[in-house]
């Protein structure tokens, strides 16, 4: 027997057995990124949106190297041999990652070649310098002279001019050359500044756009930059640096410590060096030595380095090559009360389904609180928010109006640390009481609490969500947000804020479940209850939707439930370490991933409670937490019970059902680890959850299930039976 967080599960220490029992976390993520990449060749998606998916797959891979591969490489260089729970040592994981990444980058290259041809057919061309006509050459000369050359700093590298520092994701050109009249070899560099666009537009007429890429431009003008040298060779390179941050738990001043760490991150070691295919061995060695990356990942590509920059082609893009415009709906309930958020929430709980319903309602809630003379206090968590955050502005307005405002700003939100530091200073200057949470926990919960004086009593109004307080992300991330005036929930949220500000653990919580205090234990109890129902001859069912399933203890609990006969349907967008469909282990578990127009981000967990699903008697929750060790053990998270009948109906019978029925954006996870796209060739049988909710942004309070609104041809039983993937 092995113990995880005080709870037992049956396992073995045998590496081979664990490899068969679980999928590797890193490889599972890479398979997710492959699903993103597949959308770049999906004919059902507009052309420039396919370019966007290709760019996203490259950006995802950059971050994967910055954090995950960097961590594994650190373990390897330190001689660590401890295995991941699926039985792989760091060295073996890196080998498998390298092999899989090679397949992904080759597929990215193939996708770009196809997309480039298709773009040309739509009169969007990426041209070679030799293909430019006289007018285009003149435009390029003027653009180079006015907007590119002044930003360039060409460098000769020798003992007097040492190899320069390039920032993370730095891109540039290396040159092999010799001074005219001599045979003395020398290397040079042309780093590309961040403000220089990757694609230089030579015309932007109504019917066509022609581009050249900056590396071709630099190659063309390099002889003029190094006029006193004979150029022998040029080569394009790109670097990725280790960008993870290790927080010192003994730091006396967390803000200054993070300022130091952010500076240190910028100088993290190079973890990946990308080179354009065909570079000579001498230039290759020059770059490897210059970036001190002898032991790191060296990748060569023949097509296009840094495909994340392909998003530049979407600037001023023709509408017909993009998704059809979609306008989110403002929640009807708020409109019915003439925009008075507090009156609407006091009347009934309100569930908002982003991005199909506007994030503006969240902004309006806080702006109204800032102006309302009866509001005396606002408490708010901030994990991620936008650079021009209206949420932060509302908190500042509230503080300047004399209200008691507390903001929990999480400094450890990866890649948003600098933004959060800036907002924290602005909030403090306005008189907001700013706290930075725990040193050893991240505050990942998305919670807002408004306390309003009504008569002789204080009444709480609470917002609890699965997504961040980020207005731009809310346009593309699917998330849930609950507004409630339930006083027990408000009291629980108040205790949670007291925990975050004073370390005083909340006691006697009536409704809200939190990590790391009780979420894992409650989750296990709920799974155990389904097992008990099955043993008693009643139905047992679990429907869950999340971004990632990694936690070994939860996986073992699900295996136990499957063996007991509980029917388990999992919708997991990204990483899934659970192996479904294995006899005597997980034969009653099915896993699918949805990848489409919107990024699935909401976490919803439903338990049958002894009744066939869906049912009014089912227990329904939504959460800020994925099922990962970091979420359950090392983060402040919320797990929110859904009690309102109308909200219960919307979450279970509409949102979860639509996701289960989706056959246009869905991939089925096989027991082998392979994902197979669910294919429905007859248009009359196709169903997209994203399309459905764009047409029906809000069904809450109408007393209808999806079955009432779904197209008549859909067989609802598909949600309960194993999915047969069309080959």
Distance between CA 482 and CA 463 in Å, rounded? 6
pLDDT above 90 covers a percentage of the chain that reads: 72
- Tokens 């506007």 belong to residue: 358
Mean pLDDT for 479-484 is 97
DSSP 70-124: HHHHHHHHTT--PPPTTS--HHHHHHHHHHHHHHHHHHHHHHHHHHHHHHHHTTE
Tell me: pLDDT of 721 over 70. no
pLDDT, residue 7, reads 34
pLDDT band for position 78 (50/70/90)?
confident
Distances (CA, A) of 35 to 108, 477, 598, 666: 12, 17, 14, 10
Mean pLDDT for 543-557 is 97
pLDDT, residue 264, reads 53
Tell me: pLDDT of 304 over 50. yes
Residue 58 burial by Cβ neighbours in a 10 Å radius (0-12, 13-18, 19+): buried
pLDDT digits (tens, 9 = 90+) for 145-175: 999 999 999 999 987 788 998 998 999 999 9
Residues forming the active site: 444
pLDDT, residue 33, reads 97
Distances (CA, A) of 181 to 128, 178, 241, 274: 31, 8, 39, 33
Q: How high is the mean pLDDT of the chain?
A: 88
Instruction: State which of 257-271, 417-431, 636-650 shows the largest mean pLDDT.
Output: 636-650
Mean pLDDT for 680-691 is 89
Q: H/E element holding 534?
A: helix 519-535
CB atoms within 10 A of CB 383: 24
pLDDT, residue 316, reads 83
pLDDT band for position 679 (50/70/90)?
confident
Distance between CA 608 and CA 529 in Å, rounded? 10
pLDDT, residue 15, reads 56
Sheet with 209-213: strands ordered across: 124-126, 209-213, 199-204
The answer for residues whose C-beta is within 8 angstroms of residue 708's C-beta and 6 or more apart is: none
Distance between CA 423 and CA 445 in Å, rounded? 18
Mean pLDDT for 193-222 is 90
- Tokens 């002898």 belong to residue: 294
pLDDT, residue 17, reads 74
The answer for residues whose C-beta is within 8 angstroms of residue 338's C-beta and 6 or more apart is: none
pLDDT band for position 711 (50/70/90)?
very low
pLDDT band for position 545 (50/70/90)?
very high
Which residue would you say has higher pLDDT here, 12 or 422?
422
The set of long-range contacts for 190-193, using a CB threshold of 8 Å and a minimum separation of 24, is 190/152, 190/154, 190/155, 190/218, 190/222, 190/225, 191/153, 191/155, 191/164, 191/166, 192/218, 193/151, 193/152, 193/153
pTM for the full model? Answer: 0.90
> Which domains occur in the chain, in start order?
2-117 (1.20.58.310), 124-245+272-282+301-315 (3.30.1840.10), 332-511 (3.30.870.10), 517-719 (3.30.870.10)
pLDDT digits (tens, 9 = 90+) for 320-379: 999 999 899 998 889 999 999 999 999 999 999 999 999 999 999 999 999 999 999 999
Q: H/E element holding 60?
A: helix 47-64
CB atoms within 10 A of CB 124: 21
pLDDT, residue 74, reads 85
pLDDT digits (tens, 9 = 90+) for 215-264: 999 999 999 999 999 999 999 999 999 877 654 444 445 455 445 554 55
Please count the CA atoms within 13 angstroms of the CA of 284 that sit on its side-chain side: 13
Cis amide bond preceding 614, omega within 30: yes
């Amino acid at each position: 027997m092995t113990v995880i967080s005080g709870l037992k599960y049956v396992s073995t220490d045998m590496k081979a057995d664990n490899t068969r029992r679980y999928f590797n976390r890193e490889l599972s993520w890479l398979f997710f990124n492959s699903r993103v990449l597949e959308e770049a060749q999906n004919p059902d998606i507009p052309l420039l949106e396919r370019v966007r998916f290709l760019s996203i797959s490259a950006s995802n891979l950059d971050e994967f190297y910055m954090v995950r591969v960097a961590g594994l490489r650190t373990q390897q260089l330190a001689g660590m041999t401890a295995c991941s729970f699926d039985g792989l040592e760091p060295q073996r994981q890196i080998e498998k990652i390298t092999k899989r990444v090679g397949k992904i980058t080759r597929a990215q290259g193939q996708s770009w070649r196809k997309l480039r041809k298709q773009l040309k057919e739509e009169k969007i061309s990426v041209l070679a310098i030799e293909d430019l006509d006289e007018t285009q050459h003149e435009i390029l000369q003027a653009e180079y002279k006015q907007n590119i050359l002044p930003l360039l700093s060409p460098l000769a590298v020798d003992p007097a001019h040492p190899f320069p520092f390039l920032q993370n994701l730095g891109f540039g050109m290396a040159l092999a050359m010799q001074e005219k009249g001599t045979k003395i070899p020398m290397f040079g560099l042309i780093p590309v500044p961040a403000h220089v666009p990757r694609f230089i537009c030579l015309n932007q007429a109504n019917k066509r756009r022609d581009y050249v890429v900056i590396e071709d431009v630099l190659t063309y003008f390099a002889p003029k930059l190094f006029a006193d040298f004979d150029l022998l060779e040029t080569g394009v390179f790109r670097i990725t640096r280790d960008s993870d941050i290790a927080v010192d738990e003994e730091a006396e001043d967390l803000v200054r410590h993070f300022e130091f760490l952010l500076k240190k991150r910028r100088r993290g070691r190079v973890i990946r060096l990308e080179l354009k295919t065909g570079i000579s061995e001498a230039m290759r060695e020059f770059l490897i030595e210059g970036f001190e990356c002898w032991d790191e990942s060296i990748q060569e590509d023949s097509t296009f380095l840094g495909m994340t920059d392909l998003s530049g082609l979407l600037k001023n893009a023709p509408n017909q090559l993009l998704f059809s415009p979609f306008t989110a709906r403002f929640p009807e309930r708020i409109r019915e009360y003439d925009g008075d958020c507090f009156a609407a929430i006091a009347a009934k709980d309100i569930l908002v389904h982003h991005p199909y319903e506007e994030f503006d309602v969240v902004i309006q809630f806080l702006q109204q609180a800032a102006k309302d003379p009866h509001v005396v206090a606002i408490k708010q968590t901030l994990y991620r928010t936008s650079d021009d955050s209206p949420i932060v502005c509302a908190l500042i307005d509230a503080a300047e109006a004399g209200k008691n405002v507390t903001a929990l700003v999480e400094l450890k939100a990866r890649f948003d640390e600098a933004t959060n530091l800036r907002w924290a200073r602005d909030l403090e200057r306005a008189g907001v009481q700013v706290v930075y949470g725990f040193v050893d926990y991240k505050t990942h919960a998305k919670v807002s609490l408004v306390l309003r004086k009504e008569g002789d009593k204080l009444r709480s109004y609470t917002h609890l969500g699965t997504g961040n307080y980020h207005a731009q992300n809310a346009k593309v991330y699917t998330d849930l947000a609950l507004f409630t005036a339930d006083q027990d929930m408000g009291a629980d949220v108040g205790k949670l804020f007291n925990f975050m500000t004073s370390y005083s653990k909340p006691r006697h919580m009536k409704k809200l479940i939190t990590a790391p205090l009780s979420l894992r234990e409650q989750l296990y109890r709920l799974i155990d209850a389904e097992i008990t129902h099955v043993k008693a001859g009643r139905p047992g069912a679990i429907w869950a939707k999340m971004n990632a399933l990694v936690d070994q203890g939860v996986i073992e609990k699900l295996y136990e439930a499957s063996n007991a006969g509980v029917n388990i349907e999992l919708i997991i967008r990204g990483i899934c370490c659970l192996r479904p469909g294995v006899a005597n282990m997980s034969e009653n578990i099915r896993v699918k991933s949805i990848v489409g127009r919107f990024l699935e981000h909401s976490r919803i967990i439903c338990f049958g409670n002894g009744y066939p699903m869906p049912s009014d008697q089912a227990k329904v929750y939504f959460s800020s937490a994925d099922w990962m060790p970091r979420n359950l053990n090392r983060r402040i998270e919320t797990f929110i019970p859904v009690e309102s009948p109308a909200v219960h109906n919307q979450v279970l019978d509409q949102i979860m059902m639509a996701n289960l029925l989706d056959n246009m954006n869905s991939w089925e996870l096989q027991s082998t680890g392979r994902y197979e796209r669910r294919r429905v060739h007859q248009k009359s049988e196709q169903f997209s959850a994203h399309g459905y909710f764009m047409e029906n942004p809000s069904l809450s309070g109408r007393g209808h299930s999806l079955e009432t609104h779904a197209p008549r041809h859909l067989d609802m039983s598909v949600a309960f039976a194993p999915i047969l993937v069309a080959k």
